[in-house]
């Protein structure tokens, strides 16, 4: 799996992580756990784009708790862009099991929706 990480706007308030290729937990964790990036900005939002990932891993349920723990340090909104059934299933499982995430994380299917939620000009 490849990961491209960059600031989505000049204000450095939205960090975009675009993943593509076959899923790899090591790449995902290494990307999201990079605290240096989050220390650069004050309470940045996170935009995770999974549209380039063909399928979610079969062991994703085993990783939900760790994924939630990673969100603890992210104070801004987390927006997940995904169009696959697997990614939507993962999101809905997170919302059912970890209800406090509902106020912090959103699922959308397009960049336009993500930009509106994050207040980025289209």
Q: Is 48 exposed, middle or buried (0-12, 13-18, 19+ CB in 10 A)?
A: buried
Tell me the sheet residues that pair with 49.
18, 81
| pLDDT value, residue 32 | 80
Tell me the sheet residues that pair with 6.
16
Distance from the Cα of residue 118 to its chain's centroid = 13
Q: pLDDT tens, 13-25? A: 898 999 999 888 8
Superfamily of domain 2-114 in the CATH hierarchy? STAS domain (3.30.750.24)
* Nearest to 47, CA basis, from 16, 83, 88, 4: 16
Cα separation of 48 and 81, whole Å? 6
Q: pLDDT tens, 45-67? A: 899 999 999 888 888 888 888 88
């Amino acid at each position: 799996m490849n990961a491209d990480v960059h600031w989505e706007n000049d204000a450095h308030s939205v960090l975009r992580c675009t993943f593509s290729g076959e899923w790899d937990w090591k790449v995902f964790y290494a990307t999201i756990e990079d605290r240096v990036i989050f220390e650069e900005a004050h309470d940045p939002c996170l935009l995770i784009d999974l549209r380039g990932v063909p399928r979610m891993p079969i062991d994703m349920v085993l990783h939900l708790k760790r994924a939630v723990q990673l969100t603890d340090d992210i104070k801004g909104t987390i927006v997940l862009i995904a169009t696959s059934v697997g990614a939507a299933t993962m999101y809905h499982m997170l919302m059912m099991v970890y209800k406090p995430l509902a106020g912090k994380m959103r699922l959308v299917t397009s960049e336009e929706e993500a930009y509106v939620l994050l207040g980025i000009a289209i």
